[in-house]
Amino acid sequence: MIAYKRVPMLVTRGFYLVSTTLILVFIIFSFSLSTAHIQAQRIQRNDLDLNYLKAKMTAENELDLFYIGLYESPAQLDFVPACTNLMLDPNQLVIENDKMREYQLTGSFYLCVEQSGYFSVSITLAYNSIEQLILQRRLATTSKPWVLYPITLFGL
Half-sphere exposure of 67 (CA within 13 A, CB side): 22
User: Terminal CA-to-CA distance of the chain, rounded, Å?
Assistant: 81
Q: What is the pLDDT of residue 112?
A: 92
Q: What distances in angstroms separate CA 89 from CA 82, 86, 94, 144, one per listed residue?
A: 10, 5, 11, 29
* Secondary structure letter of residue 62 according to DSSP: H
User: The dihedral of CA 90, 96, 99, 105: what is its sign?
Assistant: positive
Least confident of 10-24, 54-68, 107-121: 10-24
Nearest to 121 by CA among 151, 97, 95, 144: 151
The predicted pLDDT at position 156 comes to 43
CB 114 within 8 A of CB 100: no
The answer on pLDDT for 110 being more than 90 is yes
In this predicted model, which residue has the larger pLDDT, 60 or 11?
Answer: 60
pLDDT of residue 3: 52
Q: What is the pTM of this model?
A: 0.69
Q: Give the three-state DSSP class for 148.
A: strand
Position 7 confidence tier, pLDDT thresholds 50, 70, 90: low
Q: What confidence tens digit (pLDDT) does each residue in 26-50 have?
A: 888 888 888 888 888 888 888 888 8
